[in-house]
Structure 1
């Protein structure tokens, strides 16, 4: 990922927080089947390895997992909030006009090689942890224990799990750090008053420059 020094994020706690906040990851790899990409919800276990370990599962019918089983390196992309930046938000536009549009965003990239597994007990533990994490926000959380045992067993046979220890981790917080304090304030105001929810979400991540 191209990442100028001004935008580089190296704080492991912030990188992990963004991974946790990203609902759906994009897992890519290049193997015998060529370039492959799958959109997957993943679970991060921070204490496993230097950068943590990612857990998830594929549908068994998805051929992507076979490339990982054969040792292909995977790149996992976690996307945070993003927004178009209107040049009119920069006070510098009125001063000299030397401004252009851009796009600000937050992204985390993780690399590693996965261990693939289909042991029913291990799969059940993974599905339980994933569902418990996302069901926690519901008024009446669903549990895997509510599903009939024979139905659940059939569903587990239809998936393949994986553990991906993160070997390399990069973060890019492109939030206008290369602009003046006045321009940054103008962008923050423009985004925070936008009718677009994702604009306001990004505005909340902008730190005032003193």
Structure 2
């Protein structure tokens, strides 16, 4: 993806976003395919360089990973449409001449994939995912007979690409003006976008 210098996220910010948004698109290019295999999936970022997840055995991603274990895990969210008029502050000119945009966050993790077939390793992946998302369930090993229907996947992160498109090429005054309009609209994604704007403009009211 295109990342301008003013949109680039730090590794810490990118990983924090991934931790808070543990659902993404697993992309496996394979070898010699017309298009890659793209799988929407829940996942768990265990630490800064390791991700685990599980998928059904019939999933079409497995042959692609066997062909080429280099994959991308893409996560995007916190998006909000910014009207063109919001880009023109009072006294600057015709609001109708403003250029609209969309604010959003996106992180792409370049990874090396390892397929997990061992039942105990699969059980441990499930334990980790359940511990992060649920509670009070029996140990996954209780369902070992059903393990043949799934495979585990471990992804080792080799590169982190983070883009946080929140008016980084504008000054504090213009970001504050957009933040005020987002607060007034208060639609889906607007509060998250305001949070990102505040990170980039500490002068914005909290």
Q: Specify the TM-score bucket, using the shorter chain as the normaliser.
A: 0.7 to 0.9
TM-score by length of 1: 0.85
Give the C-alpha shift of residue 80 in structure 1.
2.8
Give the C-alpha shift of residue 197 in structure 1.
2.8
State the distance in 1 between where 2:74 and 2:90 align.
34
Q: Does 1:202 align with 2:193?
A: yes
Q: How many residues align?
A: 197
Q: What's 1:77 paired with? A: 74
Give the C-alpha shift of residue 71 in structure 1.
2.5
TM-score by length of 2: 0.87
Give the C-alpha shift of residue 106 in structure 1.
0.7
Give the C-alpha shift of residue 94 in structure 1.
4.3
1:4-23 correspondence runs (5 A): 4-10=4-10, 12-23=11-22
Q: Does 1:177 align with 2:165?
A: no
Counterparts in 2 of 1:144 and 1:157: CA distance versus 1, 3 Å? farther
1:178-193 correspondence runs (5 A): 178-193=169-184
Q: What SS is found at the alignment partner of 1:37?
A: strand
State the distance in 1 between where 2:90 and 2:37 align.
43
Q: Deviations over 1:58-106 (max 9, x none)?
A: 1101021222133342111111300100122234364133521000111
Give the C-alpha shift of residue 179 in structure 1.
1.3
Superposed CA RMSD in Å reads 2.0
Gaps of 5+ in 2: none
Q: Does 1:55 align with 2:52?
A: yes
